């Protein structure tokens, strides 16, 4: 019986709620302004903390009416203010509420309201705008559409502590969402953000100080112009950097310590503060290491580790200092055990939250390990010897979170720069297997890092090279060379280049077969110089060992000589031309392949030209080519020597023996000795 009554009962309750909500909306249309005002006040009281009521009112069309009343010149100031307050309350509901408000053009209406002379109304509009703009569903570019908005907001900063708090929060959020588009940082900078916001760092209000600090952290991020300006700013007679240092002191709230450390980190990375400056080495770095300890909340530990990773990423000395500060390498191992026990977190909601976000801790730890181990061999050894570290990285490669997988592969890539680790830890844990699996199906950013790591695993001294070869990797790498992404093309060809180094003829033939001559020569005309250089490196490695040179040149000699001609004749860097001449030197070392050079007078003239070039590296590579052609112990050397003498090569060799470059003069002397033997 109860089951039969349940549905009608729900319908009855729902219709009652909707009827009540309808009553609130109907009162907004009353012809008596006093009743309208009372209706808005009652609506304000009804929606506080009641998301269902908020949703009902939005569905019933309350928002357009509230916005209409807010814009009418005949509406009293109290009514306009109460409308802004209700809209702000509606904005504090769900993301769908925000979408509905934005669709009703709430932002331009509230921005227009900021032109009012009344401070209470301005604060209500700003409070609502703040709530709308900090939502992830709001298109932040709406703040920048009208060029008069930012300067007007700057002018309102001095009106009250509330305007300062709301405006700085809007600025910091709308900038942090647009860090991929630095023009928004520039807009704020050009409209005096630094000089207007700097005094707020010593405001009596903690909220204002905190929002001002956040503003500077997002303005300075990867922005040299802003960072260089900040270094010279004085706040109440004190340098801004020292203000940030004071905000990092242990007696300050954690949020403030962290954000101040981020400001100094970003200024340092932008080149405004030296990496050996005391405020970085003695203050910022220790503060960030402190944030990684387990007494801090999950979010603080994540932010601390990620900021520290960013700070020391390009600087080996900071990496060394960090690795010996507060046992950081061992401390990070705790990031993988979190939360270690239910009893450690009394708050069930906090435990539930942390369980859902524990992957962010692992991600942060991988990032920090990657940064720590990017240069120093001893630090890498310390990382790999940390309990179960390699197993954790391997597990990280198959995590459901793409960001965690990316961080794990970054960590692996950092460690793969170590010859010792490639020979030991990487081999012992068969790291190549999960790496190959990751390469089968991953987003481009993961593919780039995974394929870059694979390049290192395919180096000659890596024990993983053989099993990777047997797994059929060549086809995968050849497919990468056809990617639209230059980084993936580089990594694909780089890995093939490493694979071809001192490889068996069978492997080289398979590379050429799988890649195809058409794709090989397409890569030789790639607009990306890195792709071109690695392709030349691959060709050079394929054309090593005489039987291999002769075999490849017998089947592809014509196309290779054409490609070499095009590169030597085109506008390319010295490095590209040097690699190309080295390929010619390898061809000249073949038994039968050298005939392709000797019968090509145009190519010989090019070699002669580069022997007389102003760059010693090009001269040396061209001289190697000649030396290989005229080597005495080989069949037909006399005829080749005679031909090159007639073409004037001997005279050039005599001149080169006087070169100031010892390598070049020695090579020229060695070549001339072939004529005397």
Tens digits of per-residue pLDDT, 220-265?
999 999 999 999 999 999 999 999 999 999 999 999 999 999 999 9
| Rg, the chain, Cα only | 34
- The overall average pLDDT reported for the chain is 91
Q: How far apart are the first and last CA of the chain?
A: 115
Q: What are phi and psi of 464, to 5 degrees?
A: -75, -15
Give the rounded percent of residues in the chain with a pLDDT score beyond 70: 95
Mean pLDDT of 574-595: 94
Q: Which pLDDT value is given to residue 141?
A: 87
Concatenating the DSSP letter of every residue in 190-203 gives: HTTHHHHHGGGGG-
Mean pLDDT of 89-102: 93
Sign of CA dihedral 563, 566, 568, 573: negative
Mean pLDDT of 144-157: 94
Mean pLDDT of 192-203: 95
H/E element, 234? strand 234-235
- Beta-carbon-side half-sphere exposure of residue 291 (alpha carbons within 13 Å): 35
| pLDDT greater than 70 at residue 6 | no
Residue 173 pLDDT level (bands cut at 50, 70, 90) = confident
Q: Which pLDDT value is given to residue 343?
A: 43
Q: What is the DSSP letter of 141?
A: G
Exposure string (b/e) for 402-440, b if CB count within 10 Å is 16 or more? ebbbbbbbbbbbbbbebeebbeebbbebebbebbbebbe
Residue 357 pLDDT level (bands cut at 50, 70, 90) = confident
Mean pLDDT of 579-587: 95
Residue 13 pLDDT level (bands cut at 50, 70, 90) = very low
| Cβ-based neighbours of 44, under 8 Å, separated by 6 or more | 82, 85, 86, 89
Reference 552, options 513, 581, 607, 524; nearest CA is 513
Mean pLDDT of 363-368: 97
Return the structure tokens found at 495.
């890995």
Residue 177 pLDDT level (bands cut at 50, 70, 90) = low
d(CA 523, CA 451): 18
d(CA 121, CA 131): 16
Quickly count: other Cβ atoms within 10 Å of residue 519's Cβ: 15
Mean pLDDT of 186-201: 93
Q: What are phi and psi of 260, to 5 degrees?
A: -65, -40
| pLDDT greater than 50 at residue 440 | yes
d(CA 182, CA 223): 8
Please state whether beta strands 238-239 and 234-235 pair in parallel, antiparallel, or not at all (unpaired): antiparallel
**0.75 surpassed by pTM:** yes
Q: Are 558 and 587 in contact (CB under 8 A)?
A: no
d(CA 649, CA 672): 10
Q: Give the tens place of pLDDT for each residue, 263-306.
A: 999 999 999 999 999 999 999 999 999 999 999 999 999 999 99
Q: Where are the alpha helices (DSSP H) in 177-253?
A: 183-190, 193-197, 206-220, 224-231, 240-247
Q: Give the tens place of pLDDT for each residue, 450-474.
A: 999 999 999 998 999 999 988 889 9
Q: Give the tens place of pLDDT for each residue, 474-490.
A: 999 999 999 999 999 99
Q: Give the tens place of pLDDT for each residue, 369-425.
A: 999 999 999 999 999 999 899 999 999 999 999 999 999 999 999 999 999 999 999
d(CA 254, CA 172): 18
Helices 574-588 and 601-611: crossing angle, nearest 10°? 130
Q: Give the tens place of pLDDT for each residue, 44-94.
A: 999 998 999 999 999 999 999 999 999 999 999 999 999 999 999 999 988
Q: What is the DSSP letter of 239?
A: E
Exposure string (b/e) for 246-271, b if CB count within 10 Å is 16 or more? ebbeeebebebbbbbbbbbbbbbbbe
Return the structure tokens found at 218.
């997002």
d(CA 257, CA 303): 11
């Amino acid at each position: 019986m109860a089951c039969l009554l349940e549905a009608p009962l729900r319908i009855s309750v729902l219709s009652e709620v909707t009827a009540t909500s309808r009553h609130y909306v109907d009162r907004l249309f009353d012809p008596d302004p006093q009743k309208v005002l009372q209706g808005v006040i009652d609506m304000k009281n009804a929606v506080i903390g009641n998301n269902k009521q908020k949703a009902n009112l939005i569905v019933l069309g309350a928002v357009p009416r509230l916005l209409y009343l807010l814009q009418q010149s005949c509406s009293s100031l109290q009514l306009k203010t109460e409308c802004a307050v209700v809209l702000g309350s509606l904005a504090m509901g769900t993301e769908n509420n925000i979408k509905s408000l934005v669709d009703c053009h709430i932002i331009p209406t509230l921005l227009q309201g900021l032109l009012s002379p009344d401070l209470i109304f301005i604060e209500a509009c700003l409070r609502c705008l703040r709530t709308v703009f900090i939502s992830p569903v709001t298109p932040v570019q709406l703040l920048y559409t009208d060029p008069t908005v930012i300067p007007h907001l700057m002018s309102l900063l001095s009106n009250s502590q509330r305007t300062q708090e709301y405006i700085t929060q809007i600025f910091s959020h709308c900038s942090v969402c647009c860090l991929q588009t630095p023009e928004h940082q520039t807009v704020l900078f050009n409209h005096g953000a630094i000089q207007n916001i700097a005094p707020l760092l010593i405001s009596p209000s903690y909220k204002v100080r905190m929002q001002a600090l956040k503003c500077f952290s997002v303005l300075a991020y990867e922005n040299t112009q802003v960072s260089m300006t900040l270094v010279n700013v004085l706040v109440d007679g004190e340098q801004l950097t020292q203000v940030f240092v004071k905000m990092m002191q242990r007696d300050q709230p954690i949020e403030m310590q962290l954000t101040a450390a981020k400001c100094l980190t970003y200024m340092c990375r932008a080149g405004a503060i030296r990496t050996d400056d005391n405020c970085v080495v003695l203050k910022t770095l220790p503060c960030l290491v402190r944030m990684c300890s387990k007494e801090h909340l999950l979010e603080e530990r994540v932010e601390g580790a990620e900021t520290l990773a960013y700070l020391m990423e390009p600087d080996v000395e900071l990496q060394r200092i960090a690795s010996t500060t507060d046992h950081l390498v061992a401390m990070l191992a705790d990031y993988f055990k979190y939360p270690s026990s239910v009893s450690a977190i009394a708050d069930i909601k906090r435990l539930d939250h942390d369980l859902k976000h524990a992957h962010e801790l692992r991600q942060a730890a991988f990032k920090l390990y990657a940064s720590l181990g990017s240069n120093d061999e001893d630090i890498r050894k310390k990382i790999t010897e940390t309990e179960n570290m390699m197993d954790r990285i391997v597990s990280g490669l198959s995590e459901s979170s793409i960001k965690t997988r990316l961080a794990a592969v970054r960590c692996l890539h950092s460690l793969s720069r170590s010859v010792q680790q490639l020979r030991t830890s990487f081999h012992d844990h068969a790291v190549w297997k999960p790496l190959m699996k990751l390469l089968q199906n991953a987003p481009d950013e993961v593919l780039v890092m995974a394929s870059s790591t694979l390049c290192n695993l395919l180096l000659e001294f890596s024990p993983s090279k053989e099993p990777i070869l047997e797994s059929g990797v060549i086809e995968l790498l050849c497919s990468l060379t056809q990617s639209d992404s230059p980084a993936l093309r580089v990594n694909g060809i780089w890995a093939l280049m490493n694979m071809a180094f001192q490889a068996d003829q069978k492997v080289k033939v398979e590379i050429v077969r799988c890649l195809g001559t058409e794709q090989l020569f397409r890569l030789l005309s790639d607009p990306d110089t890195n792709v071109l250089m690695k392709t030349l490196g691959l060709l050079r490695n394929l054309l090593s060992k005489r039987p291999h040179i002769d075999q490849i040149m017998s089947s592809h000699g014509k196309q290779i000589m054409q490609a070499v001609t095009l590169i030597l004749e085109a506008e390319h860097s010295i490095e590209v031309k040097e690699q190309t001449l080295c390929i010619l030197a390898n061809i000249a070392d073949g038994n039968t392949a050298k005939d392709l050079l000797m019968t090509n007078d145009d190519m010989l003239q090019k070699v002669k030209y580069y022997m007389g070039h102003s760059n010693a590296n090009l001269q040396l590579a061209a001289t190697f080519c000649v030396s290989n052609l005229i080597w005495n112990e080989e069949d037909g050397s006399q005829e080749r020597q005679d031909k090159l003498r007639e073409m004037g090569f001997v005279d050039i060799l005599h001149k080169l023996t006087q070169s100031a470059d010892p390598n070049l003069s020695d090579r020229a002397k060695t070549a001339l000795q072939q004529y005397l033997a």
